[in-house]
Amino acid sequence: MFVYLDNSSTTRQDPQVTRLMCRIMEENFGNPSSLHRLGLEAEKLMKKARQQVAQSMGAAAGEIFFTSGGTEADHIAIMGSARALKRMGNKIITSQVEHPAVLENFRALEQEGFQAVYLDVDEKGVIDLKQLEAELDENTVLVSLMQVNNELGSLEPVEQAGALIKKRSRANFHIDAVQGLGKLPVDPSSVKADLVAVSAHKIHGPKGCGALYMKKGTRLKSPVYGGGQEQGIRSGTENLPGDAGFGLAAELAAKEFSRRNQAMKEARRYLLEGIKAEIGDVRINSFEDERCVASVLNVSFLGTRGEVLLHMLEQKEIYVSTGSACSSHHKGQSHVLKAAGLSEEEMEGAIRFSFSHENTRQQMEYTLEQLKKAVESMRRVIRRK
């Protein structure tokens, strides 16, 4: 039985999305910037896609700018804010558990002379609002937080953070909502976000497509120069088939929001309860309740190696992800699990299961059964030491 449980890495593209994209690639190859009719048709399709993505986030179409993915959206938001606001101050704040798409921009800005603050997290990877409040000052020009942690699934308190940021500073507030879209309402105005990054391939859309939400009036100087497409925020000929695919995927995700989340929740609950009941000696790294998204479950199987479990499950056509690579050097360790304070053994045995609405009850039963076998066989080998 084929069981795909690595949906936080990427999802299977929805066949409806594929069909739409194929049709556009074959029939609407025009450049939206062209003045002739083919250009106009392309522009219409872009407009529709922009509306679909905007609606799925509760934003206006004029606030959505297509990018090549979540990483580029984060890059434009962070570097663009820092450049536009550097005269106001040089302090930038983020958390220790962000995705490299955020962290690496912060490191680059540190090189340029910005003072970066990396907020601590608790054992579930959640930031402390008091620490954020203490760090915020008049000198702060940017705060970037993730809505949902990609490894643990924990929800970050972005709404409260937004209120604090707007009260205490003049900073731009950027949210990396790549793991949130489709699993939580992403509503930039209620969380007082100026910028929000999202990605298509995490919601059954195409790879290589993302978007940046930017509130009207946000000060930003894009680091991408070129022909001025996307109102100068992201130059480069539009990826029309990809953006249209993203539009449809976002519309479907919004329309089926409840049904999909319910399905994920059930799969997650079944596996979580099963692991707790049938496989002893585990540490549930994710929150077990509503403080974790329905799509992620991170568990450490003590006395095992996550990477070996991964390969054993792969032999049974079950695909998961690990928190750390099996290596005698510590190259492969997850910075998230480390920041959350997991021990070496807990990190080594960590597996991330990430669900989609396509996962069924039978798949979870099969996964639990295979998982149990794999863990037991591995423990027999390792426990001897």
Partner 1 sequence: MEKVLIVKYGEIALKGMNKPYFERVLMERIRSCIKDYEEAQVWRYEGVVFVRANEPERMEEMAAEVARVFGVSTVSIAAEVESDMEVISQAAAEYMRQLRKERVIRTFKVETKRSNKQFPVTSPEISRRVGARILKTQNDDPAYPLTVDVHEPDCLLFIDVRRDKSYIYHDKHTGFGGLPLGTNGKGLVLLSGGIDSPVAAWMMAKRGMLIEAIHFHSYPYTSDRAKEKVVELTRILGGYCGRIKLHCVNLLEIQMAINEACPQEQMTILSRRFMMKIAQRLSQRIKADVLITGENMGQVASQTVQGLVVTDQSVQMPVMRPLIGMDKVDIMELAQKIGTFETSIQPFEDCCTVFLPKHPSTKPRLEKILDSEKALDQEGLIQRALEEMETITVQPGK
Q: Which residues form the catalytic set?
A: 326
Q: x/- contact string, 284-313, with partner 1 (CB under 8 A)? A: ---------------------x-xx--xx-
Size of the site for partner 1 (CB under 8 A): 18
Cα 282 to chain centroid distance, Å, stands at 26
How many angstroms separate the CA atoms of 158 and 191, rounded? 6
Q: Is 345 in the site for partner 1 (CB under 8 A)?
A: no
Map tokens 């099996």 to a residue: 326
Q: Between 47 and 311, name the residue whose CB sits nearer to partner 1.
A: 311
How many angstroms separate the CA atoms of 222 and 319, rounded? 38
Least separation in angstroms between residue 378's CB and partner 1 is 8
Strands 321-322 and 115-119: unpaired
Q: Is 325 in the site for partner 1 (CB under 8 A)?
A: yes
Q: Calculate the alpha carbon distances from 120 to 142, 183, 257 in Å.
A: 17, 25, 32
Structure tokens at 71: 């990483």
Q: Between 272 and 310, name the residue whose CB sits nearer to partner 1.
A: 310
**Near partner 1 by CB under 8 A, which window of 4-12, 151-159, 194-202, 325-333?**
325-333
Q: Is 329 in the site for partner 1 (CB under 8 A)?
A: yes
184 Rama sector, left if φ>0, alpha if ψ -120 to 50, beta otherwise: beta
Cα 33 to chain centroid distance, Å, stands at 31
CB contact at 8 A, 100 and 242: no
- Write out the binding residues for partner 1, residues 364-383 only, by CB under 8 A: 381-382
Least separation in angstroms between residue 329's CB and partner 1 is 8
Q: x/- contact string, 39-68, with partner 1 (CB under 8 A)? A: ------------------------------
Least separation in angstroms between residue 379's CB and partner 1 is 11
Closest of 243, 224, 240 to residue 232, by C-alpha: 224
Q: Between 6 and 194, name the residue whose CB sits nearer to partner 1.
A: 6
Least separation in angstroms between residue 229's CB and partner 1 is 38
Strands 282-284 and 210-214: unpaired
- Write out the binding residues for partner 1, residues 97-136 only, by CB under 8 A: none
In 56-68, which positions are buried (b, 16+ CB within 10 angstroms) versus exposed (e)? bbebeeebbbbbb
Least separation in angstroms between residue 324's CB and partner 1 is 12
CB contact at 8 A, 297 and 279: no
Q: x/- contact string, 246-285, with partner 1 (CB under 8 A)? A: ----------------------------------------
Q: Is 326 in the site for partner 1 (CB under 8 A)?
A: yes
One residue of 115, 189, 327, 362 binding partner 1 per CB under 8 A: 327
- 236: Cβ–Cβ under 8 A, 6 or more apart, which residues? 68, 224, 226, 227, 229
Query: Where do contacts with partner 1 occur on this chain (CB under 8 A)?
Result: 305, 307-308, 311-312, 314-315, 325-329, 331-332, 381-382, 384-385
